Amino acid sequence: MVKLASPEQAKEKKATRAAYGVTLAALAEEGMNIVAVDADLTGSTTTKKFAQARPENEDRLFNVGIAEQNMVGVAAGLSLAGNIAFTGSFAVFGTGRAYDQIRNTVCYSNLNVKIAPTHAGISVGPDGGSHQMLEDISLMRGLPNMRVLVPADYAACCAAIRLAAQTPGPVYIRMGRASVPAVYAPEVELEMGKAYVLREGTDVTLIACGVEIDQALKAADLLEKESISAEVIDAFCVKPLDAETILASLEKTGCGVVAEEHSVYGGLCSAVAEVVAENHPYPLQFVGMRDRFGKSGEFEELLHYFELDAEAIVQAVKKVRSRVED
């Protein structure tokens, strides 16, 4: 098991996007040929911190303005010149508006470009449904050559950015706006294609990614009070998915709940269902957005409103366990 945050460390909240600029700067300091291409959001995405870290980085951040499709094209060209190119925008623009360029320029040619937008999911909060991207994992997961990483907290995001830089070819990293509790200890190292058992259990498997990891751990605490032992898995690498770890857990517990801050169509829920369908039909229940857009509100309010919080996971556990008992 990877090292988790201490109770004291868990009290410190940071947004995953806060990891972006500082980690790019650290990688450049270590000698990696990092460049960042942003679409007029260098402050919000924090790529500005990459440029400000040292004078030589100033010429390695390219702000193309409000032109996300051009952003991806420029990043593709920079990668062909031997650079490790990271893009920066909000997820709704950085994946949706630029999908054609990501598909046909980056993935088709298997270029060394990292699509790393911020402000994904309902954690965008007050910006509302038009900016709350809930289909990005699905869009990126369906592309050949693309890997998909959805880190749970600041430390995991630092590890994901570093992992993306070290992995040749296209990688998608999903980052959020809201500050979230620490799950992992600082300096944690994560691997491509690996899922991590954060808490062992015997009665049900909770498989989650991103901000839902914190909710899954809270749900496990609530379930423990009802004498239900929940195993919690962080499927931070949605593609390639660690089928071995997930199936081993489901074989032990007999049923599972999959939770993601994303549509239940095409993301982690679909990925786990595909693995289960091809191997062994364990009962599953999904916690996620069901064929709807988001709306304006504070992050915690929206988690409850859209039934993505710990209590929603608890109810899903009871439902899936009732199917097993029947």
pTM: 0.96
pLDDT digits (tens, 9 = 90+) for 253-295: 999 999 999 999 999 999 999 999 999 999 999 999 999 999 9
Cα separation values, 57 from 24, 48, 287, 310, 320, Å: 10, 10, 42, 42, 51
Give the tokens for residue 117. 């937008």
pLDDT digits (tens, 9 = 90+) for 229-261: 999 999 999 999 999 999 999 999 999 999 999
Q: How confident is the model at residue 146 (pLDDT cuts 50, 70, 90)?
A: very high
* pLDDT of 225: 98
User: What's the distance, Cα to Cα, between the start and end of the chain in Å?
Assistant: 34
Whether residue 192 contacts residue 147, with contact meaning beta carbons closer than 8 Å, is answered with: yes
* pLDDT of 117: 97
pLDDT digits (tens, 9 = 90+) for 19-78: 999 999 999 999 999 999 999 999 999 999 999 999 999 999 999 999 999 999 999 999
CATH fold of 10-181, please? Rossmann fold (3.40.50)
The string of DSSP codes covering 62-115 is: EE--S-HHHHHHHHHHHHHTT-EEEEESBHIIIIIITHHHIIIIIITTT-SEEE
Provide the CB-side half-sphere exposure for 94 (13 A, CA). 30
pLDDT digits (tens, 9 = 90+) for 295-316: 999 999 999 999 999 999 999 9
Please say whether the dihedral angle defined by the alpha carbons of residues 155, 161, 162 and 167, taken in this order, is positive or negative. Answer: positive
pLDDT digits (tens, 9 = 90+) for 167-194: 999 999 999 999 999 999 999 999 999 9
- CA pair distance 69, 59, nearest whole angstrom: 21
Residue-wise burial string across 238-250, b where 16 or more C-beta atoms lie within 10 A, e elsewhere? bbebbbebbbebb
Catalytic residue among 68, 135, 212, 261: 68
* pLDDT of 324: 84
Is 68 assigned a catalytic role? yes
* pLDDT of 326: 66
CATH of region 196-325: 3.40.50.920
Instruction: Tabulate helix, strand, coil % of the chain (nearest 5).
Output: 45, 20, 35
What residues form DSSP beta bridges with 4?
184
Q: Please check the confidence at residue 1 and state whether its pLDDT lies above 70.
A: no
Domain boundaries, the chain: 10-181, 196-325
**Nearest 5°: phi and psi at 5?**
-65, 145
pLDDT digits (tens, 9 = 90+) for 88-142: 999 999 999 999 999 999 999 999 999 999 999 999 999 999 999 999 999 999 9
- DSSP element (H, E) containing 249: helix 243-253
- CA pair distance 168, 187, nearest whole angstrom: 22
**Nearest 5°: phi and psi at 313?**
-65, -40
DSSP letter (8 states) at residue 296: S
Q: How confident is the model at residue 2 (pLDDT cuts 50, 70, 90)?
A: confident
pLDDT digits (tens, 9 = 90+) for 189-221: 999 999 999 999 999 999 999 999 999 999 999
- CA pair distance 125, 303, nearest whole angstrom: 10
Q: How confident is the model at residue 325 (pLDDT cuts 50, 70, 90)?
A: confident
Determine the residue type at 283. Answer: P
Cα separation values, 68 from 65, 136, 192, Å: 8, 15, 27
